């Protein structure tokens, strides 16, 4: 399977701060990739570098085989990009926005636009500026889909949308995912959304890509381990896979990547009277993995598994 997105050592500094740090990533064609990270983790900057909106300080990337520093107009026509906040000209009506966007594409499917507008009861005469955030998001998606792009890059598309609208937006997205061969990269803060649609996830933490694996793999690999002690609670020694530890009364709660016999042996040597290994849902796993101050985190394996 060919790669729709290839990122090699992409790095960006803003002043002294390294916002994106030597990111390497390959996203196969047809994959739905969810990009996660806390605010300021570097998700938007990485996406903007992919689209040539931000110039990288080092590294390179290709989209559908073309270097992102010099994306040709023809290649841009094959890629849909929804920027954060769905910026469209607010003074335009929906119809004018569609006409404006259509002027740049040789291939344009009006029925995509009509279908979404009809489904969400959005009039073509309505001014973009008077639409709700959710309606604007749907119009953005409709305009992005009309040229039938091969690759969709969505920067936090559900940001600021209420639960119902978010669900509608995701359903539109799922519907479009069902069209074969289309690759989607989207960033989000909402783990439930990612869990619903992504085959594979990447987690950026302080600009470093810590996780790149199938969604299920991430959920399965991260475990909450509760150790119970009688008397004083010792500190768990730093070891491979340990993400965090917190003390609650006589209990020590660990978050561990790939809990193994080695971890169990350490727990036993510390004198734990009981060891409870718990599964975590994606949201809990993500929070546990990224909570707290910036620090080195155990990375997940990055082998490319088929989506």
Partner 1 sequence: MLKALVWKEFRELMPLILLTIIAEFALVCTAMGMQLGLSSSERGEIPFIGTDLSAFIVTVPAIFVCAMALMQTWWESSRGTFLFLLHRPLPRSEIIAAKLLLGTVVCLIVTLLPTFVYALWAAAPGTHASPFDWSMTDSTWRQCLAIPVLYFGAFLSGMRPARWFVSRFFPLAASVAVFLLQISAPGGFVPLLVAFGLAVDAYFVWVIFDVAATRDFS
Which residues are at the interface with partner 1 (CB under 8 A)?
A: 44-45, 48, 51, 53-55, 73-77, 79, 81, 83-85, 87-92, 99-101, 103-105
Residue 140 near residue 82 (C-beta atoms within 8 A): yes
Query: Closest approach of Cβ 72 to partner 1, in Å?
Result: 8
Please name which of 256, 262, 259 lies closest in space to residue 288, comparing C-alpha atoms.
Answer: 256
In the three-class reduction of DSSP (H, G, I as helix; E, B as strand; rest coil), residue 247 is classed as: strand
Query: Closest approach of Cβ 80 to partner 1, in Å?
Result: 8
Own/partner contacts of 230-234, CB < 8 Å, gap of 24 or more, are: 230/271, 230/273, 234/270, 234/271
User: Among residues 100 and 306, whose Cβ is nearest to partner 1?
Assistant: 100
User: Among residues 54 and 304, whose Cβ is nearest to partner 1?
Assistant: 54
Query: Closest approach of Cβ 223 to partner 1, in Å?
Result: 37
User: Among residues 100 and 174, whose Cβ is nearest to partner 1?
Assistant: 100
146/302 Cα distance (integer angstroms): 34
User: Among residues 91 and 306, whose Cβ is nearest to partner 1?
Assistant: 91
The structure tokens 């040539």 sit at: 52
Query: Closest approach of Cβ 154 to partner 1, in Å?
Result: 12
In the three-class reduction of DSSP (H, G, I as helix; E, B as strand; rest coil), residue 169 is classed as: helix
Query: Closest approach of Cβ 164 to partner 1, in Å?
Result: 25
Query: Closest approach of Cβ 22 to partner 1, in Å?
Result: 19
Sign of the CA dihedral 99, 85, 126, 178? positive
Q: Would you state the structure tokens that stand for residue 190, as one six-digit string?
A: 């909402």
Query: Closest approach of Cβ 91 to partner 1, in Å?
Result: 7
The structure tokens 């409709």 sit at: 142
User: How far is CA 148 from each of CA 19, 143, 155, rounded to the nearest angstrom?
Assistant: 32, 10, 18
User: Among residues 131 and 255, whose Cβ is nearest to partner 1?
Assistant: 131
User: Among residues 77 and 115, whose Cβ is nearest to partner 1?
Assistant: 77
| DSSP H stretches of helix in 158-231 | 163-177, 191-197, 215-221
Residue 32 near residue 194 (C-beta atoms within 8 A): no
User: Among residues 129 and 237, whose Cβ is nearest to partner 1?
Assistant: 129
């Amino acid at each position: 399977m060919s790669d729709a997105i290839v990122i090699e050592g992409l790095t960006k500094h803003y002043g002294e701060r390294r916002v994106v740090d030597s990111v390497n990533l390959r996203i196969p064609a047809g994959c739905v990739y969810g990009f996660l990270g806390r605010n300021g983790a570097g998700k938007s900057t990485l996406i903007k570098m992919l689209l040539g909106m931000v110039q990288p300080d080092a590294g390179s990337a290709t989209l559908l085989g073309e270097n992102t520093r010099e994306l040709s107009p023809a290649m841009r026509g094959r890629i849909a990009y929804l920027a954060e906040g769905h910026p469209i000209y607010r003074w335009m009506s929906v119809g004018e926005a569609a006409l404006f966007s259509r002027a740049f594409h040789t291939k344009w499917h009006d029925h995509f636009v009509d279908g979404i507008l009809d489904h969400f009861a959005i009039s073509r005469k309505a001014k973009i500026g008077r639409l709700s955030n959710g309606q604007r998001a749907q119009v953005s998606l409709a305009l992005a889909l009309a040229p039938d792009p091969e690759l969709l890059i969505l920067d936090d598309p559900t940001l600021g949308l209420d639960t119902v609208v978010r669900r509608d937006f995701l359903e539109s997205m799922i519907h479009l995912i069902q069209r074969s061969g289309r690759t989607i990269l989207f960033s989000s803060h909402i783990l439930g959304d990612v869990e619903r649609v992504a085959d594979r996830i990447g987690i950026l933490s302080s600009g470093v890509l810590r996780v790149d694996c199938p969604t299920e793999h991430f959920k399965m690999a991260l475990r909450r381990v509760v150790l119970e002690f009688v008397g004083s609670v010792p500190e768990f020694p730093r070891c491979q896979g340990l993400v965090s530890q917190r003390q609650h009364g006589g209990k020590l709660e660990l978050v561990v990547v790939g809990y193994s016999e080695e971890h169990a042996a350490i727990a036993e040597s510390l004198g734990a009277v009981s060891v409870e290994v718990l599964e975590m849902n994606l949201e809990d796993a993500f929070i546990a993995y990224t909570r707290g101050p910036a620090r080195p985190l155990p990375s997940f394996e990055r082998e490319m598994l088929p989506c």
